[in-house]
Every structure is written in C-alpha cells, then in structure tokens.
Chain A
Amino acid sequence: VLTQSPGALSLSPGQRATLSCRASQSVSNSYLAWYQQRPGQAPRLLIYGASTRATGIPDRFHGSGSGTDFTLTITTLEPEDFAVYYCQQYDSSSWTFGQGTKVEV
C-alpha cells in the first residue's frame, strides 16, 4: 500500500511544494515513480527510479527518498503545475498507485 500526504496542498505560484509517498513495505528505488495528472488528461510520467526525471520534465521537479519514504518536491510552482500527483510502485508483477495529492491554488 502506498499512502500519499497530504491529500491536498494549497499553494501559490512561486512557492515550493513537498509531497510525500509512504510505502507499507520497503520499495526498491528502481521501482518508484511519480506521475502528474492535469484535469481531463491522462497521467504523465514525471520521475522514475525515485529520482530520475523523465524526458522533457523541467528541473524544478525533484524526486528523492528510499526504503518506505519518498518525496516529490516542486521547487518553484508554475501555473501549469497545479494538478494531481500520484506515486506508483512495482513489486513482483504487481503495480500499485498512491491515492494522489492535489496541488491547488
């Protein structure tokens, strides 16, 4: 089970966002990813391997953590960053998503 916190984060453009993803069991760093979902759109891969940005993802997105605690940090929020963020893990041919954190204005 992946538990994300907080459920919602109210911030303003220019501020820093810190999102947490906690796993019920230790996760290999290789198998932890983060996605962004804007309203009406499919999820978009942001971070894989816990800390590697996917192609085309701005460097204001940072992934960190290990074991059971992982963090997605958005250093300076841009207007297009207000969205829902999901963490995802893989383990033994099974995939699990966190319940999501909504970053709102």
Chain B
Amino acid sequence: QVQLQESGPGLVKPSETLSLTCSVSGYPISTYWGWIRQPPGEGLEWIGSIYHTGSTYYNPSLRSRVAISLDTSRSEFSLKLTSVTAADTAVYYCAHILTGPYYFDYWGQGTLVTVSS
C-alpha cells in the first residue's frame, strides 16, 4: 500500500523558511515526486518536482524561493520555501508522479501551513 505523509511546522513566521518533508512507504523512492499547494478556498498550484536522479523542476512563479531535495536512504523528499509571506499560507501536498504520462497518482493527505507572526 502506497503511503505519503507530509510533516513539518504548521506555523511559520513571515520572512522565514517553510520546510516540509514527505515520507514515502510502499513505493520505490527512485522515481518522480512533486509538491502541490492549495491556499484556503482556492485551487491547486504545482510547486515543483524532483526526479530520482536529482533533477528538479520548479514553477516559474516560485523558482527563486523553492528548493526540493530527495533522500533515498530515508525514502523521503523535502520542500523548502524561503522568504514566506501570508500568501504562502496553504495546504501543502506531496505526490507521486507516474513517469511517462506525468500525472499525480498518489497523494499525501496534506498539511496546512500558516504564515503568521
């Protein structure tokens, strides 16, 4: 059974760095993974993706502030978003990407991150 679980602080202060980890079980980590977020009451926004080779791809609107990394030994991948503002308040999802058709077939349950002082 494939399981993805996001973890990290639920509250981050403005101008600080948001850090989340996605722990993966039931699926080889050596594949393609992504982060998606959803502000309260709004739609889905792709943040970025990472391939098991270490290649990363980011939403152009967030590229200057985002970094995604992969730790194959721990079967987890991580998201860092710097210089956060209230506009970064959202539910953050991690997901598996099926290579080839490039859709998100497995999702974590999501974690709400609030940016507030």
Q: Check B39 for interface membership: any CB of A closer than 8 A.
A: no
Q: Assess whether B43 is interfacial by the CB under 8 Å rule.
A: yes
Of A8-16, A66-74, A75-83, A91-99, the segment with at least 4 beta carbons within 8 Å of chain B is: A91-99
Given A86-B43, A95-B46, A100-B43, CB of A48 within 8 Å of CB of B107: no
Take A31-B101, A42-B110, A45-B105 as given contacts and tell me if A97 and B43 are in contact as well, using a CB distance cutoff of 8 Å.
yes
Determine the main DSSP class of B at the interface with A: strand
Q: A99 and B43: CB pair below 8 A?
A: yes
Residues B2-54 near A (CB distance < 8 A): 34, 36, 43-46, 49
A54: interface (CB < 8 Å) = yes
Q: Which residues of B contact A49 (CB under 8 A)?
A: 101
Query: How many Å lie between the Cα of A77 and that of B66 in the bound state?
Result: 40
A42 touches B109 (CB 8 A): yes
User: In the bound complex, how far is the Cα of B45 from the Cα of A48, in angstroms?
Assistant: 18
Q: Does B77 contact A (CB under 8 A)?
A: no
Write out, one digit per residue, whether chain A residues 4-42 have a CB within 8 A of any chain B CB (1) or not (0): 000000000000000000000000001101010100011
Closest residue of A by beta carbon distance from B100: A30
- Contacts of B105 on A, CB cut-off 8 Å? 45, 48, 54
Residues of B within 8 A of A35 (CB): 44, 104
Given A30-B101, A93-B49: A98 in contact with B107 (beta carbons within 8 A): no
Q: List 10 A-B contacts (CB under 8 A).
A: A35-B44, A42-B107, A43-B93, A45-B103, A48-B98, A48-B103, A88-B104, A93-B57, A95-B34, A95-B104
